[in-house]
């Protein structure tokens, strides 16, 4: 048989440790050859059966018996020495074998403990790396969560601005109280901010849950790592024990397997599963951080883009209001000038009508005086006909002038109404411009910048 610790030909040694010295080995008497001796009976004349010597030879042996007894003692001494010599050789061989076996067993156990220390160190290092990675990832995710909270807080100002803008524009006067492009953009902005706030709140909740999962799996890894550290210290202490150690003692009850003890496969699988779950949560956290970055970037860009659209709509509408107001003021100037002209025209018409009174008096007085002509001189001469035509012409002129006066007065009233409408409309446009430009656009200058909306500030 081959010796596990030496070359071929060595005696096979048991794979166990001896806890006490072996008992001395003896050769059973049955294994020794038996010598058969023929003992002569004491009969005859020299025997002790004689009556004369009965009192002297009753307790004595024969010489042959004495020699036989000595031979037996010699044989027993020789066999005892031979057996003792064999026992000593076997005991020496067994002691040497037991010492070598004990030394090899201790070396094997020390090597096994050393290999176990390497396994424990490997998993301890992997767990420590997983713990550090999860801790670093949790800190990064906490920073993203802080950005989300800042971004959510930053949306309050834009929402307050757009709400105030809509409320201010409700104070516009008719006919400027219309659902124009500015209002549509403001409503779109309010809806966008509400949707972004809901998205940020959901993302905040998701980040909080992921941080809790990270901490839970980090705690699992830390508990496993703590067990590995304690186990490593115990095995390292065990590996340093030697036969010269003074702090060793007998523990007979320790030579047993605990019912709750794990196997090497389940032991490695436990740490592997902890590391795998920690790595899985780390990857989920990394993906969530990337999602948060994209959400913050997109939401801030969308809000600023919508803010620019609203500002552009405000600017365009204010330009339209300014242009309309300028046109209204221009037409008001023309109306005012025309009113002046019309008032002068009415005064001229009244004066013309008044001026027709004297010619009418002259013509009618002439006709009246000529009606007193006597007898045949009361003639329908050309002068009579001309005076009559003159009165008729004057009457027709006065009627035309009065009609034109009425028309002019109605035109003046229409001009006055138009003037009032223009002045009212100009006041409405002035109010609308004040609301849109002085109230709304001035307040929109407080709109947060992209860095604040993205949670950096």
Residues 347-391 have pLDDT tens digits of 999 999 999 899 999 988 988 998 898 888 888 888 889 989 999
Find out whether 91 and 25 touch, Cβ atoms under 8 Å. yes
Of 182, 156, 153, 189, whose CA–CA distance to 168 is shortest? 182
Question: Domain for residue 43, yes or no?
Answer: no
Same structural domain, 295 and 397: no
pLDDT surpassing 70 at residue 238: yes
Interatomic CA distance for residues 342 and 339, integer angstroms? 5
Same structural domain, 311 and 165: yes
pLDDT at 454: 83
Interatomic CA distance for residues 367 and 384, integer angstroms? 7
* Residues 51-101 pLDDT 10s: 455 455 555 778 888 889 889 898 989 998 998 899 889 899 989 999 899
Domain that holds residue 298: 100-242+263-316
Same structural domain, 175 and 296: yes
pLDDT surpassing 70 at residue 32: no
What is this structure's pTM? 0.68
Same structural domain, 201 and 306: yes
- Identify the burial level of 288 via C-beta atoms within 10 angstroms of its C-beta, where 0-12 means exposed, 13-18 middle and 19 or more buried: buried
Find out whether 192 and 303 touch, Cβ atoms under 8 Å. yes
Same structural domain, 300 and 437: no
Question: Domain for residue 12, yes or no?
Answer: no
Q: Which of 39-53, 201-215, 415-429 has the lowest mean pLDDT?
A: 39-53
Strand partners, 8: 2
Same structural domain, 401 and 442: yes
Same structural domain, 148 and 185: yes
pLDDT at 34: 53
CATH number assigned to the domain comprising residue 199: 1.20.1270
Same structural domain, 173 and 281: yes
Confidence of residue 13 (pLDDT cuts 50, 70, 90): very low
Residue where one domain finishes, among candidates 290, 316, 342? 316
Question: Domain for residue 24, yes or no?
Answer: no
- What's the average model confidence in pLDDT over 246-269? 82
The two structure tokens encoding residue 418: 């138009």
pLDDT at 4: 39
User: 219-246 burial by CB neighbour count: b if 16+ within 10 A, else e?
Assistant: ebbbebbeebeebbeebeeebeeeeeee
pLDDT at 38: 52
Helix/strand/coil percentages in the chain, nearest 5? 75, 0, 25
Same structural domain, 110 and 222: yes
Interatomic CA distance for residues 117 and 129, integer angstroms? 18
Whose tokens are 């004990």? That residue is 102
How many domains would you assign to the chain?
A: 2
* Residues 275-313 pLDDT 10s: 999 999 999 999 999 999 999 999 999 999 999 999 999
DSSP conformational letter for 23 = P
Question: Domain for residue 350, yes or no?
Answer: yes
Interatomic CA distance for residues 446 and 440, integer angstroms? 11
Same structural domain, 125 and 273: yes
Same structural domain, 284 and 361: no
pLDDT surpassing 70 at residue 180: yes
Counts for the chain of helices (H) and strands (E), in that order: 8, 0
The two structure tokens encoding residue 87: 């026992």
Q: What SS3 state is found at 57?
A: coil
The two structure tokens encoding residue 19: 């806890």
pLDDT surpassing 60 at residue 35: no
């Amino acid at each position: 048989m081959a010796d596990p610790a030496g070359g071929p030909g060595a005696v096979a040694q048991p794979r166990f440790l001896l806890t006490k010295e072996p008992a001395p080995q003896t050769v059973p008497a049955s294994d020794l050859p038996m010598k058969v001796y023929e003992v002569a009976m004491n009969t005859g004349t020299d025997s002790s059966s004689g009556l004369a010597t009965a009192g002297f030879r009753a307790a004595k042996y024969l010489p042959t018996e004495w020699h036989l007894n000595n031979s037996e003692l010699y044989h027993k001494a020789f066999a005892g020495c031979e057996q003792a010599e064999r026992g000593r050789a076997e005991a020496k061989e067994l002691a040497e074998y037991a010492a070598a076996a004990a030394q090899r067993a201790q070396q094997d156990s020390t090597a096994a403990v050393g290999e176990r220390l390497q396994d424990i160190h490997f998993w301890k290092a992997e767990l420590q790396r997983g713990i550090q990675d999860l801790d670093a990832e949790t800190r990064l995710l906490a920073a993203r969560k802080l950005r989300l909270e800042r971004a959510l807080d930053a949306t309050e100002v834009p929402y307050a601005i757009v709400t105030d803008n809509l409320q201010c524009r409700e104070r516009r006067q008719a006919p400027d109280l219309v659902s124009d492009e500015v209002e549509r953009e403001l409503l779109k902005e309010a809806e966008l901010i509400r949707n972004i706030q809901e998205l940020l709140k959901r993302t905040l909740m998701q980040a909080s849950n992921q941080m809790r999962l990270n901490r839970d799996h980090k705690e699992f890894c830390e508990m496993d790592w703590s067990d590995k550290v304690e186990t490593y210290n115990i095995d390292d202490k065990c590996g340093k024990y030697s036969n010269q150690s003074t702090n060793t003692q007998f523990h007979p009850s320790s030579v047993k397997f605990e019912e709750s003890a794990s196997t090497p496969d389940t032991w490695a699988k436990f740490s592997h599963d902890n590391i795998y779950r920690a790595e899985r949560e780390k990857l989920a956290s990394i993906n969530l951080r990337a999602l948060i970055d994209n959400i913050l970037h997109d939401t801030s860009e969308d809000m600023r883009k919508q803010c620019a659209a609203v500002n552009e709509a405000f600017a365009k509408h204010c330009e339209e209001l300014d242009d309309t107001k300028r046109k209204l003021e221009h037409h008001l100037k023309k109306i005012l000038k025309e009113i002046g002209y019309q008032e002068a025209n009415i005064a001229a018409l009244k004066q013309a009508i008044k001026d027709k009174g004297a010619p009418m008096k002259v013509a009618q007085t002439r006709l009246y005086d000529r009606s007193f002509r006597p007898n045949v001189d009361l003639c329908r001469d050309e002068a009579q006909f001309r005076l009559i035509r003159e009165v008729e012409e004057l009457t027709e002129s006065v009627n035309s002038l009065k009609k034109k006066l009425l028309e002019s007065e109605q035109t003046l009233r229409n001009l006055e109404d138009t003037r009032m409408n223009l002045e009212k409309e100009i006041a409405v446009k002035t109010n609308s411009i004040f609301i849109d430009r002085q109230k709304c656009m001035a307040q929109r200058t407080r709109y947060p910048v992209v860095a604040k909306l993205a949670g950096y500030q």
